[in-house]
Amino acid sequence: MFTKILIANRGEIACRVAATARRLGVRTVAVYSDADAQARHVRACDEAVRVGSNAPRDSYLVMHRIIEAAQATGAQAVHPGYGFLSENEVFARACAAAGLVFVGPPPEAIAAMGSKSAAKSLMAQAGVPLVPGYHGGNNEPAFLAAQAAQIGYPVLIKASAGGGGKGMRRVDRASDFIAALAACQREALNSFGDQHVLVERYVRRPRHIEIQVFGDAHGHCIHLFERDCSVQRRHQKVLEEAPAPGISAERRAEMGAAAVAAARAVGYVGAGTVEFIAEPADDGGNSSDNSDSSDSSDLRFYFMEMNTRLQVEHPVTEAITGLDLVEWQLRVAAGEPLPLRQDQLTMRGHAIEARICAENPDANFLPATGTLHIARWPQHVAFERSDALPRVDSGVREGDAISPHYDSMIAKLVVWGEDRAQALARLATALAGTHIMGLATNVAFLRRVVASRAFASADLDTALIEREHAALFEVPPLAAAWAAAGVAAHRLAAEAALQDADPWSRRDGWRLHGGAQRRLDLVAEGEPAQPTLHATLTRLHDGATRLQIDGQSWPLMTQLLGDARFDVQLGDDRRTLAVYAHGDRYAVFAPQGSALLARFDPIAHAGDSAQEAGRLTAPMPGKVVSFLVRAGDRVQRGQALAVMEAMKMEHTISAPHDGVIEELLYGVGDQVPEGGALLRLGAVDAAVSAAAAP
């Protein structure tokens, strides 16, 4: 075993690798950018080396600096984590040339699976079933459009060198193909340095099922069962679970055998994942398939790609097998044989992972940036399997900032149960106990997904979120009365903590000859269309309190339970609320939902609508990729106006109403701060009047 390794990554995966290394007695070296100088992964390692400025291309992707850091610190091996350089054959070869062990597969295996097109040709030779499509090297737009027409719409365009949903578009009509192709190629070039794509038949009602494989340098190769990653948004995973619901033992064995065959075809060593797209066997589809398993009673499956690294969702496999996959990686990289044979592997129970991300589900999952003013988790263990407690893998702490330089994931919340029903119940409880304040997150959305009929009944496919849109998005927030009661409870507790024995110094509104009233004017954060909540908190003669909202009044009793938790009784109803305050903002969490509130200041809000009229602003910090209009152009509501790149993804800015472009305020390639006005959009009538004026 190694005595020291360098972890060529950041965030939760760097912390994850460091935790296993520490347990094995292996010292660790972190690398960091300027933005990550105080990051959690830096503190988790024994040593740390700066490798550049904020952007990944200037730090985590600079190969020679990482190799120099490993050599300077005496590291014997480099663990690449996932993302960044983890699937870069050039980096793997550079490590070997520098006398360092690359904790991953041989460069030849990375190269073979690095191109989706080349990998599918290789899989066809190995007898692994493929989705019908074009996987060749001709990327001329007219040629690919002809291939798409021959395949039949809808089709899926996919970046040949990438993953994670980047450089991927579904196209339903021939008229949309060229524009979608250009967007995919541009995003693929920006993300992976390679704009080549492939085109495939879009599988209807697809499930995304992947097999964890492991090989060693002694010729052994096994699989560690499957994971279902079907619940996705923007082609990126949201919830992952193991084992996949509804998979027969026969199908599991067939998929496992196909995955091992794929790994053996490239001489695979280390941890990898063979990803399959699957569809119901009784789904006629829109073309014939070449699967030799089409007679199965449950699913047909097709090879999609192989990720030559550890996956984000590896904890669910660890939970059902009781194994530490990072430990296996280190042992195999050190030349040891696999610890277990295929017939020695067993799985127990069910595990589900939820990705907690900084994003706004109501704005098409637009990534969010900001500071984690509050980041509280349910009672948990970190980076370890536990049958009783949820596991939280995270690379950030309360007070850290989520920046636009890296992806938006805050943490992974993993639960285990004896069966899927128990795991679902534990996940629902764990999500309810996850309290984050300071920026938009998907926690409330995940709670609705987990509670939805489709997910609870394992009616899974990659369009689940779209299918269940009404149930997942059109949900009212925590009732206004309980949101106000939570704020009132926090205010009363804060005032009680400040009071002195001298009644004249109390700050709770006490009066010598009577009670007192105070207004709580609140507005829902991020929901400007919501009316202001006007609540009145009344302290009576006997010290009792009442809360009044819109003419309704209830007795209010509160008790601080500790750690921001309150026992609150509103009328005859009683609940436990968690309430946090930061400045003039409040976050109220209850088992029934949550609310983010701010004190409403009518003076500060005066004129907001006039200032924002006609301005289209950047929803987050990013770079202008292209403008799709020019000054003077007339546009229609919903028309795409500009494309921005942030957090490794492209985001399209569309016209909120019909109008005329008055001015473009930035140039292509410019960095734009959050809220920066990209362009000015005037009314059509105003433009016509101006043109007609003498």
The CATH number of residue 616's host domain is 2.40.50.100
How sure is the predictor about 504, in pLDDT bands with cuts at 50, 70 and 90?
low
CA angle 636, 638, 640 (to 5 degrees): 90
Is the pLDDT at 163 greater than 80, yes or no? no
| Tens-place pLDDT, residues 85-103 | 999 999 999 999 999 999 9
Least confident span in 107-111, 140-144, 449-453, 634-638: 634-638
Q: Are residues 566 and 591 in the same domain?
A: yes
Q: Are residues 267 and 286 in the same domain?
A: yes
3-state SS, one letter per residue, for 399-416: CCEECCCCCCEEEEEEEE
What is d(CA 182, CA 505) in angstroms, rounded to the nearest whole number? 68
Q: Which domain holds residue 582?
A: 480-603
Domain count, the chain: 5
Q: What is the pLDDT of residue 194?
A: 86
Q: What is the pLDDT of residue 582?
A: 93
Q: What is the pLDDT of residue 288?
A: 38
| CATH code of 259's domain | 3.30.470.20
Question: Of all helices (H) and strands (E), which one includes residue 277?
Answer: strand 270-280
Is the pLDDT at 511 greater than 70, yes or no? no
Q: 134 - beta bridge partners?
A: 199
| Tens-place pLDDT, residues 600-654 | 866 555 444 444 445 688 877 788 988 999 999 999 988 889 988 876 667 788 8
Q: What is the pLDDT of residue 517?
A: 79
Q: 391 - beta bridge partners?
A: 381, 414
Q: Are residues 99 and 22 in the same domain?
A: yes
253 within a domain of the structure (yes/no) = yes
Q: 301 - beta bridge partners?
A: 278
| CATH code of 143's domain | 3.30.1490.20
115 within a domain of the structure (yes/no) = no
CB 271 within 8 A of CB 288: no
Q: What mean pLDDT do residues 109-114 have?
A: 91
Structure tokens at 336: 């040891």
The answer for residues whose C-beta is within 8 angstroms of residue 531's C-beta and 6 or more apart is none
Q: What is the pLDDT of residue 388?
A: 66
How sure is the predictor about 318, in pLDDT bands with cuts at 50, 70 and 90?
very high
Final residue of a structural domain among 587, 603, 619 = 603
Is the pLDDT at 405 greater than 70, yes or no? yes
Q: Are residues 314 and 243 in the same domain?
A: yes
178 within a domain of the structure (yes/no) = yes
58 within a domain of the structure (yes/no) = yes
Q: Are residues 455 and 499 in the same domain?
A: no
What is d(CA 186, CA 533) in angstroms, rounded to the nearest whole number? 46
If one compares 522 and 542, the residue with the highest pLDDT of the two is 522
Catalytic residue among 207, 227, 251, 309: 309
Q: What mean pLDDT do residues 117-143 have?
A: 88
662 within a domain of the structure (yes/no) = yes
| CATH code of 40's domain | 3.40.50.20
Final residue of a structural domain among 201, 219, 250 = 201
Known catalytic residue at 309: yes
Q: Are residues 348 and 367 in the same domain?
A: yes
Please tell me which of 164-178, 234-248, 523-537 the model is most confident about, judged by mean pLDDT.
Answer: 234-248
Q: What is the pLDDT of residue 164?
A: 66
Per cent of the chain over pLDDT 90 is 63
Q: Are residues 540 and 564 in the same domain?
A: yes
Final residue of a structural domain among 603, 625, 641 = 603
69 within a domain of the structure (yes/no) = yes
Give the Å distances, CA to CA, from 633 to 628, 642, 676, 681. 10, 13, 21, 10
Is the pLDDT at 245 greater than 70, yes or no? yes
Q: Are residues 223 and 309 in the same domain?
A: yes
Q: Are residues 468 and 391 in the same domain?
A: yes
124 within a domain of the structure (yes/no) = no
Q: Are residues 426 and 492 in the same domain?
A: no
How sure is the predictor about 387, in pLDDT bands with cuts at 50, 70 and 90?
low
How sure is the predictor about 136, in pLDDT bands with cuts at 50, 70 and 90?
confident
112 within a domain of the structure (yes/no) = no
Q: Are residues 189 and 212 in the same domain?
A: no
Q: Are residues 457 and 573 in the same domain?
A: no
The most distant pair of C-alpha atoms in the chain lies apart, rounded to whole Å, by 91
DSSP structural state of residue 621 = S
